[in-house]
Amino acid sequence: MQTQHAETLVLHEADDAPHYGNLIDGKWTPASDERESENHDPANGELIGYFPRSGQTEVDAAVAAAKRAFALWRLTPAPKRGEILFRVGQLLAERKEEIARILTREMGKVLVEARGDVQEGVDMAFYMAGEGRRLFGAVTPSELPNKAAMGVREPLGVVACVTPWNFPVAIPSWKTMAALISGNTVVLKPATDTPLSALKLAEVYADAGLPPGALNVVCGTGSEVGMPLVEHPDVVGVSFTGSNEVGRAVNVAAAAQLKRVTLELGGKNAILVLDDADLDLAVEGILWSAFGTAGQRCTACSRVIVQRGARAELERRLVERIAGLRLGHGLDDTTDVGPLINASQAERVHSYMAVARSDGATIAIGGEPARDGTLARGNFYQPTLLTEVKPGMRVAQEEIFGPVLSLIEVESLEEAIAVNNGVAYGLSSAIFTQNVNAAQVAMRDLATGIVYINAGTIGAEIQLPFGGVRGTGNGHREAGLGALEFFTEWKAIYIDYSGKLQRAQIDS
């Protein structure tokens, strides 16, 4: 199956790289004015392909296709919609290695993580396929005799899904699968740094039998595609994952038309390490959480809040282990940490080193771009540990989104929880302790949408709601049943079989 779909996805081959199209109404098409953008491997600068730089014309065409498809898709029985999603999951599993390798070249994460990215799509497909036979409503007693009362779920209509570059298969899967099983139709705008991964996902949908127009993919920038989608009068819902700054702009624009919006924004996640923690386990959890995906996860650990008695030994172990992390291309089996997504992000990460020094923090290890040998061709940054960090410092408050970890010393569990909660974000947190009472207090008092006990801050599973509080979002959730809440409307239905007019709250 891996060779059957190549001719449709690639518009035409060039000497240096393929040219790809948007997916609109079941057809792969270029931008109407034939503008294109290049996509490069962040580890070595190699050209991956040319992608449409779309605009209002393509947005209008995609939304119109989704609107036409909605008329039939909403009437397709949800179990039948689920059968298509089940085939999507099967095809993703069959093509997992192919798509993961593309994802690594496009985004930079190491191959084992890229496989996990695709596996999230597989898991979500099977989970949401099962919801096609559930989509539970509510049946409740009526206060009047010979009268039934119930609530059912209905789809919203055409929804826009705007997705980031750090999980270019998983996050589009979360959004589109929940939207489609609910009966909505979708226009997906993938990140400009990772369009091919989203197109490969769309190709799987098409090969699984999804009707034309039910899912459309339009490549382009946020200003030329993203905001026009948000503002389009026929788009009734917007699901956005990205920066806090852009999320606020999306929310304001959508509010002008009373659109439903879900925002999944940033994080400043912390791991708490108490004096009684298993430090071997804690170090493993910290390294994975802080430097997996080169720290480019909204759930990445960027703060370690450690109790005084464990600080010196934890710091020593972290410096030793960070020194041994190997940077390189994600397709190399020896690589531990891949590149940052682009040069501007590498520059942004590095700018925080001057901020850290000026605020009084110490760079214990790292703190520089990695430019040795072949690394100089990519956007690599040394895994970094900052010590002597105080809770109010910018490096302890602002999302850096790179391989930078701050170590903050505290006296007690209560102080650790206060420091954890004292930031603008509230996505993920974790605690390492062998005290069951301390773990219970942490579960109750850590003000984040996700809490881990004796594990790192990353590793959410698709069957539970994903999201955070405060500056991390606007209260809605991805994944699990929470996603269905966003993508459906409630309709209350009353059936009176008494044969006479009955007035609720008036007739007894």
Contacts within 8 Å (CB) and 24+ apart, 143-146: 143/504, 143/505, 144/496, 144/498, 144/502, 144/504, 144/507, 145/498, 145/502, 146/496, 146/497, 146/498, 146/499
Active site residue 161: no
DSSP 86-125: HHHHHHHHHTHHHHHHHHHHHH---HHHHHHHHHHHHHHH
Contacts within 8 Å (CB) and 24+ apart, 70-74: 70/155, 70/157, 70/158, 70/184, 70/185, 72/211, 73/180, 73/183, 73/184, 73/185, 73/211, 73/214, 74/154, 74/155, 74/183, 74/184
Residue tagged active-site, from 298, 399, 409, 478: 298
Residue tagged active-site, from 264, 399, 409, 478: 264
Instruction: State how far the Cα of 148 lies from the Cα of 50, in Å rounded to an integer.
Output: 58
Q: Give the number of C-alpha atoms closer than 13 A to the C-alpha of residue 212, restricted to the C-beta side.
A: 10
Kindly calculate the radius of gyration of the chain based on its CA atoms and give it in whole angstroms. 24
Helix/strand/coil for 303? strand
Active site residue 298: yes
Tokens matching residue 254: 């959508």
CB atoms under 10 Å from CB of 38, counted, come to 12
Tokens matching residue 448: 């984040």
Number of residues that this document lists for the chain: 508
By the 8 A CB rule, do 66 and 185 touch? Answer: yes
> Tokens 């099983």 correspond to what residue?
181
332 burial type by CB count under 10 A (0-12 exposed, 13-18 middle, 19+ buried): middle
Instruction: State how far the Cα of 51 lies from the Cα of 191, in Å rounded to an integer.
Output: 11
Tokens matching residue 319: 């410096």
Q: Which residues are catalytic?
A: 264, 298
